[in-house]
Amino acid sequence: MSTELILRKAVIQDLADVVKIFKAAIRVMNDNGIDQWDIIYPDREILKEDILKSQMFLGKINDRIAFVVVINQECNEEYKNGNWRYEGDPFVIIHRLCVNPDFQHQGIGKCTLMLIERMLKKKNIKSIRLDAFSLNPIALKLYDKNGYKRVGKINLRKGIFYLYEKKIKI
């Protein structure tokens, strides 16, 4: 990628653009037969709450949002069933990673994960956890190819989600 990808925290003024990006991504997912997100999740209120809690990050290229991601330590109760390999280490959980459809198929997902890992390494976070919809081959391929290991599965509203974990390299 020849243009610099800048990572920053989202602010409330970003909400309208973030909602538009999620709606566009949902349309693309639906067109590809991936019934993961909808009008219930993630809705405007969830996204607003992510911003207000300072847990949402944006990746921008030429002042346009290329991706949105939420990073925190909040997880579904079913995460306790994961076979986590780095149980005692400081960790975070990635939620709602969404690449703007205008930037898809350009390696943004991989760059996003690399930026997140670099940021977390500076904060002495040792591992990343997340869940990915079992019927979203694009997300599964992204995580599998970038060193995330499947450590279990959980059943959420839309079906089976795989739990993933990755140790951040020092």
Tokens at residue 4, please?
A: 């610099």
Span 71-98, average pLDDT: 94
Span 7-18, average pLDDT: 98
Residue 40 CA to residue 169 CA, distance in Å, equals 36
Say if residue 2's pLDDT is above 80: no
Residue 16 CA to residue 25 CA, distance in Å, equals 14
In CATH terms, the fold of domain 6-167 is: Aminopeptidase (3.40.630)
pLDDT tens string 114-131: 999 999 999 999 999 999
pTM over 0.75: yes
Label residue 47 left, alpha or beta by phi (over 0 means left) and psi (-120 to 50 means alpha). Answer: alpha
The residues spanned by each domain of the chain are: 6-167
Higher-pLDDT residue of 152 and 88 is 152
pLDDT band at residue 1 using 50, 70 and 90 as cut-offs: very low
pLDDT at 70: 98
Q: Pairing between strand 127-133 and 159-167?
A: antiparallel
